[in-house]
Amino acid sequence: MAENRMLKFVTVSREMPEKREAAVRAQDFSEIYREFSAAKAEQQAARCSQCGVPYCQTHCPLHNNIPDWLRMTAEGRLQEAYELAQATNTFPEICGRICPQDRLCEGNCVIEQAGHGTVTIGAIEKFITDTAWDNGWVKPIRPGQERSESVGIIGAGPGGLAAADALRRAGLQVTVYDRHDRAGGLLTYGIPGFKLEKDVVMQRIRQLEEGGVQIVLDCNVGEDITFDAIRGRHDAVIIATGVYKSRDLTVPNAAARGIVRAIDYLTASNRKSFGDEVPEFDSGELNASGKRVVVIGGGDTAMDCVRTAIRQGAQSVRCLYRRDRANMPGSQREVANAEEEGVEFVWLTAPRGFTAGDAVEGVLVQRMRLGAPDATGRQSPEVIEGADYAEPCDLVIKALGFEPEELPALWGVEGLEVTRWGTIKADFRTHATSLPGVFAVGDIVRGASLVVWAIRDGREAAESVLNYLGAPQRMAAE
Ligand code: FAD
Ligand code: SF4
Ligand code: SF4
């Protein structure tokens, strides 16, 4: 009986897949967690108590049917588990790897709250889908019926690709435009391989292309083709361009050589992992090898930079963050991984300026304390006067967050409304913008967010596009 297999949380402890030794994994860009064995995945899935009201599912942005695919995994019915997992998630193997589960599904697991340690939902979702790939259960899209209408999607990140997948399944003609030479957005050029190996992303892109999604690369909308031309070519358009304008520092010497933006640094490193020629890496400009590195910021991007610098062979890596560990936005799991790998976090510190000759030589660090809570209830950092010190360094990486580019101005589009933060104004359910037939999803609407939210937006926008286009028309060629 199925029930007998479940509810094992009292006798079976929580286990994550084995983590590679810190000293070994810090030498390469491969993922740090090994795969569960089938027996281990079954055993861990069986810890689920099959809640009548599953809070894990409520707090997953995709409302994945977690209890059911856990039960199927526990029963060894992996193909059914995969079918169920992929029914609500376009890229389950990616979310299983990089969702901040401690804040989403796992953070709301009731057995965690009862003191037993959460079900390892993310690792099991990854296991199910990796198994599906290994066994050939993941097939290219074959729409039941072709439709003549076409949709243009600007941006081949998770938001744009999730929409492309859903629209192509419905038989539409889908073209995705991206300014980069590879699709995937931040999955490809932002997030490092030690969190998400690039083969995992590329196999998805191949699957989409084999299913008939056209991907036009090296095509910067606004430069190589106008937005109006894209609108003219397609019956509906989805904007999924992400946010790439890096927040900057306005302190003395902030423009010195050797002070670089996180996105440039991570892109160069990811390109190197693909085997590309990267002159800025080879020249040392975007390479931490042998250097004393300071990373400024406390979010996930900063965590990715410090751990990349370790892997590039930095002499030392320090992360300055103006709040403390408890109040940082980045994942605690990633901080722990970084510390194991040799990163030093210097909490409650911020740069006052830099010393520089030909290039940066040091950071003037000011010490902070947490003061009264601000309007959001979060304690604001305050400077402790007279407590500054100098931190010598050779490379500074600024990871202070991202803002949207001014798309209407960049693209010369009238009538595309934006919010006061510069993100595109779109209905939160239909994702319709102020322009008819134009929808927007992912970070360009939400501001810097998460992959799982971009996937949800993409899937929902695809539904709205289908509603907008109405009943199928016959293919012109028929
Ligand atoms: P993107 O992934 O940014 O894709 C947008 C695409 O649009 C890009 O390929 C870009 O080249 C293209 N584009 C932009 N402008 C144009 C134009 N004019 N013409 C043509 N193409 C254009 N989220 C997690 O859930 N877990 C994590 O661990 C995590 N780690 C992260 C680490 C880093 C370093 C960063 C920067 C982000 C991380 N995120 C993480 C956030 C996550 O990557 C984003 O929320 C997600 O990728 C947003 O998806 P998107 O499709 O909206 O945009
Ligand atoms: Fe958890 Fe993310 Fe998977 Fe949802 S998609 S179940 S939040 S890992
Ligand atoms: Fe299972 Fe935890 Fe979800 Fe309950 S909340 S169904 S125990 S995974």
Q: Which residues contact 245 (CB under 8 A, 6 or more apart)?
A: 402, 403, 404, 405
C-alpha 217 to ligand 1 mean position (Å): 16
Would you identify the CATH topology of the domain 246-401?
Answer: FAD/NAD(P)-binding domain (3.50.50)
Residue spans per domain, the chain: 2-134, 150-243+404-469, 246-401
C-alpha 464 to ligand 2 mean position (Å): 23
- Which amino acid belongs to residue 424? I
What pLDDT is attached to residue 478? 47
CATH number of 2-134: 1.10.1060.10
Instruction: Tell which atom from ligand 3 comes closest to the C-alpha of 55.
Output: 5
Residues paired with residue 19 on neighbouring β-strands, in sequence order: 33
pLDDT band at 474 (very low <50, low <70, confident <90, very high): low
> Residue 430 pLDDT more than 60?
yes
CB of 60 shorter than 6 A to ligand 3? no
The answer to whether 347 and 324 are in contact (CB under 8 A) is yes
Class of domain 150-243+404-469: alpha beta
24-60 pLDDT, tens digit per residue, is 999 999 999 998 988 899 999 999 999 999 999 999 9
308-344 pLDDT, tens digit per residue, is 999 999 999 999 999 999 888 888 889 999 999 999 9
CA neighbours within 13 Å on the CB side: how many for 54? 21
Q: Do domains 2-134 and 246-401 have the same CATH topology?
A: no
Nearest CA residue ID for atom 1, ligand 2: 105
What pLDDT is attached to residue 232? 97
Spatial distance between the Cα atoms of 214 and 27, rounded to a whole number of angstroms: 37
Q: pTM for this one? A: 0.96
Spatial distance between the Cα atoms of 128 and 375, rounded to a whole number of angstroms: 43
CB of 450 shorter than 6 A to ligand 1? yes
The preferred substitution site among 59, 62, 73, 88 for testing ligand 2, maximizing ligand atoms within 8 Å of CB, is 62
Tokens of 108: 């709301």
pLDDT band at 428 (very low <50, low <70, confident <90, very high): very high
The preferred substitution site among 191, 270, 303, 455 for testing ligand 1, maximizing ligand atoms within 8 Å of CB, is 191
Instruction: Tell which atom from ligand 2 comes closest to the C-alpha of 99.
Output: 2
Residue with tokens 């790998």: 341
Please give the average per-residue pLDDT across 459-472, as a whole number: 94
CB of 222 shorter than 6 A to ligand 1? yes
